[in-house]
A and B are shown apart, each in its own frame.
Chain A
Amino acid sequence: MKEKILTKNFGLKNSFKIDVYLEKKGYTAVRKALKEMTPEQILDEVKKANLRGRGGAGFPAGVKWSFVPDVDKPKYLCANADEGEPGTFKDRYIMAHDPHLLIEGVIITCFCVGIHHAFIYIRGEYEAVALRLEQAISEAYEKGFLGKNILKTGFKLDITVHRGAGAYICGEETGLLESLEGKRGYPRLKPPFPASIGLFQCPTVINNVETLSNVPAIILKGADWFCQQGLPGDGGTRIFGVSGMVKNPGIYELPVGTSLRDIIFKHAGGMKEGKTLKAVIPGGMSAPILRADEIDLKMDFDSLVEAKSMLGSAAIIVIDEETPILEVLKAVAKFYSHESCGQCTPCRIGTSWINKIVKRLVQGKGEQEDLKAILRLANNILGKTLCPLGDAAAMPISSIVEKFNDELESSLIQ
């Protein structure tokens, strides 16, 4: 039986308190990293572990950290807790149930990269979770895991919790940086990448909450062990968040590479009484849709790329036969037209135009030409925008129209 890395403490009473965390050998990874390892050794271990980013893109964390140049400027870490991807709620669980796991991951990452100020950018709606994080951080200061002279090693680190204010685009890493600087969350043109020019023009590492929370286990148990928990090139477990028409919606921590069918039908209890499966969105709303006959696949980054979808945030939305596919299309089109930040024309105009057409379809006034127009508009967004939100809108929309063309056609004016 493989072990749980991220959710092992969730069931404990007061799991969010430092005493409980310490009792479960919490903060021993920080001790080991700061006292027995060099930053280079930590970096090597995390690289070998093939810890791929849990925020969506799956970029290897160790490689990202190694891009940070050694310059005479402050460096920053931003833990991405914006969690705006529809269907996603895993980071909330980590922060609410085991905030010290994240804090421990942040400390080790900062020690490895030479960072002395970390921010946790948390979506504004999670007010209660932000309070809990702040309490956990002050506990960590009291016990000497944060502050000026951590564990008497001379290493210094402060963590600031920063609440967003309602904008999906601030989850995009450069939108996040702009927002954290007190501006609108308009994504920046890349390159330069945040690793060299990030927050306040300084080198900055941005990682998802779940990514960082894996670091303590890698330090304690090693890269080989971590890979064994998942796949050789995609180590560890994922917290799959299952929602929609299933019996037991919730989070399931399972090895990277677990079958999508098993997650839905074994772990989440299968479909709700009397419902049959129509489609699955396997990695948050930005992921192209899968038909019911396409779910025999392994949930890891590469397998989903092969299936022309995306593992993304590993948020699985389960859709039943009775839900009209038009309703799915409507929710997707509405979301992206609302959340486009408006900086680039293809995304701003394209998403709102698609949304208008879909509204017409919903009113029963759609014509054959409309479906083609949606595909054409989506294609004109794809690859032509400043940040990946454009693609994140175009891909799922095209996939719905292409895979469910027959059903959509039947809703048109005949």
Chain B
Amino acid sequence: MSPEFSEQTKKKIKEVISRYPRMEASLLPVLHLTQQEFGYLPEEAERAVAKMLRIKPVRVREAVTFYTMLHSQKKGKYHIQVCSNLTCSILGAEKLIDYLRNKLKIEPGETTADSKFTLSTVECLGACEAAPCMQINFDYYGNLDKKRIDSILESLD
């Protein structure tokens, strides 16, 4: 079964492909758009992308399993990605990760039962001036402490 892309995404994909001298070079942007559409990259979506770009499905699988931002598995509505690299660790990231584990009752890599939150630890997010920091979906949050984490999570419905 091939997944249904919305007309809008189909249009965007077509436009993105046209920016590259070779079709297969648009693989990452097309996968970003596909993941945006379905929330993750199920096998059928991988195959649909391969067909669109006229490449073998294994090429798409290779990319999906290589890049940390591409997911074969469904994530929670909010994907909390806490930096565990050096600057953030110096400024207390580990305590915050423990705090989130206890608060959400999940381990890094897991999703809450209501599918609202997925918790991950990630390498440097490139926002060290605001360490400790995290990214929720694509939004950055810096200068974190427990109180700020509480209020950020409360603001998400």
> How far in angstroms is the closest Cβ of chain B from A201?
11
Is B29 a contact of A86 with CB atoms below 8 Å? Answer: no
Is A327 a contact of B138 with CB atoms below 8 Å? Answer: no
Q: Given A74, A86, A320, which contacts B86 in the complex, CB threshold below 8 Å?
A: A86
Chain A CB within 8 A of B26 CB:
yes
Assembly CA distance A317 to B89 (angstroms): 11
Assembly CA distance A334 to B126 (angstroms): 17
Q: How many residues of A contact B (CB 8 A)?
A: 57
Given A182-B55, A335-B85: A124 touches B123 (CB 8 Å cut-off): no
Is A124 a contact of B22 with CB atoms below 8 Å? Answer: no
Chain B CB within 8 A of A236 CB:
no
Assembly CA distance A92 to B32 (angstroms): 20
Is A241 a contact of B128 with CB atoms below 8 Å? Answer: yes
Assembly CA distance A167 to B67 (angstroms): 6
Chain A CB within 8 A of B59 CB:
yes
> How far in angstroms is the closest Cβ of chain A from B32?
6
Choose among A167, A200, A243, A315 the residue with the greatest number of B CB atoms under 10 Å from its CB: A243
Chain A positions 48-95 with a Cβ under 8 Å from a chain B Cβ: 74, 83-89, 92
Q: How many residues of B contact A (CB 8 A)?
A: 41
Q: Which residues of B contact A88 (CB under 8 A)?
A: 124, 126, 128
Q: Which residues of B contact A164 (CB under 8 A)?
A: 28, 67
Chain A CB within 8 A of B90 CB:
yes
Is A117 a contact of B86 with CB atoms below 8 Å? Answer: no
> Binding site of A, secondary structure by majority: helix, strand, loop or mixed?
mixed
Q: Which residues of A contact B31 (CB under 8 A)?
A: 165
Q: Given B20, B27, B55, B126, which contacts A125 in the complex, CB threshold below 8 Å?
A: B126
Is A89 a contact of B128 with CB atoms below 8 Å? Answer: yes
Chain B CB within 8 A of A162 CB:
yes
Assembly CA distance A127 to B89 (angstroms): 24
> How far in angstroms is the closest Cβ of chain A from B85?
5
> How far in angstroms is the closest Cβ of chain B from A348?
14
Is B138 a contact of A128 with CB atoms below 8 Å? Answer: yes
Q: Which residues of B contact A89 (CB under 8 A)?
A: 126-129
Q: Mark B1-29, 1 if CB is under 8 A from A, else 0.
A: 00000000000000000011110111111
Q: Given A128, A160, A167, A200, which contacts B19 in the complex, CB threshold below 8 Å?
A: A160
Choose among A89, A158, A320 the residue with the greatest number of B CB atoms under 10 Å from its CB: A89
> How far in angstroms is the closest Cβ of chain A from B51?
15
Q: Which residues of B contact A18 (CB under 8 A)?
A: none
Chain A CB within 8 A of B135 CB:
yes
Chain B CB within 8 A of A181 CB:
yes
Assembly CA distance A221 to B128 (angstroms): 33
Given A74-B21, A127-B138, A251-B129: A182 touches B28 (CB 8 Å cut-off): yes
Q: Which residues of A contact B87 (CB under 8 A)?
A: 86-87, 243-244, 317
Is A165 a contact of B128 with CB atoms below 8 Å? Answer: no
Q: Given B24, B131, B138, B140, which contacts A182 in the complex, CB threshold below 8 Å?
A: B24
Is B66 a contact of A92 with CB atoms below 8 Å? Answer: no
Residue of B nearest to A87 (CB): B128
Is B123 a contact of A168 with CB atoms below 8 Å? Answer: yes
Chain B positions 17-59 with a Cβ under 8 Å from a chain A Cβ: 19-22, 24-29, 31-32, 53, 55, 59
Is B25 a contact of A243 with CB atoms below 8 Å? Answer: no
Residue of B nearest to A74 (CB): B21
Assembly CA distance A412 to B63 (angstroms): 41
Is B28 a contact of A162 with CB atoms below 8 Å? Answer: yes
Q: Which residues of A contact B124 (CB under 8 A)?
A: 84-88, 285, 335
> How far in angstroms is the closest Cβ of chain B from A170?
8
Residue of B nearest to A117 (CB): B21
Chain B CB within 8 A of A17 CB:
no
Is B86 a contact of A332 with CB atoms below 8 Å? Answer: yes
Chain A CB within 8 A of B149 CB:
no
Is A249 a contact of B86 with CB atoms below 8 Å? Answer: no
Q: Mark B103-140, 1 if CB is under 8 A from A, else 0.
A: 00000000000000000000111111111000100101
Assembly CA distance A127 to B32 (angstroms): 11
Chain B CB within 8 A of A185 CB:
yes
Q: Which residues of B contact A148 (CB under 8 A)?
A: none
Q: Which residues of A contact B53 (CB under 8 A)?
A: 182
Q: Mark A223-252, 1 if CB is under 8 A from B, else 0.
A: 000000000000000000111110001110
Q: Which residues of A contact B126 (CB under 8 A)?
A: 83-84, 88-89, 92, 123, 125-126
Given A87-B128, A185-B66, A315-B128: A323 touches B28 (CB 8 Å cut-off): no
What 8 A-B pairs are tightest by C-beta distance, nearest first?
A: A182-B27, A165-B67, A243-B128, A166-B68, A166-B69, A86-B124, A331-B86, A182-B24
Subset of 6 A-B contacts with CB under 8 Å? A89-B128, A92-B127, A182-B53, A184-B62, A185-B66, A243-B129
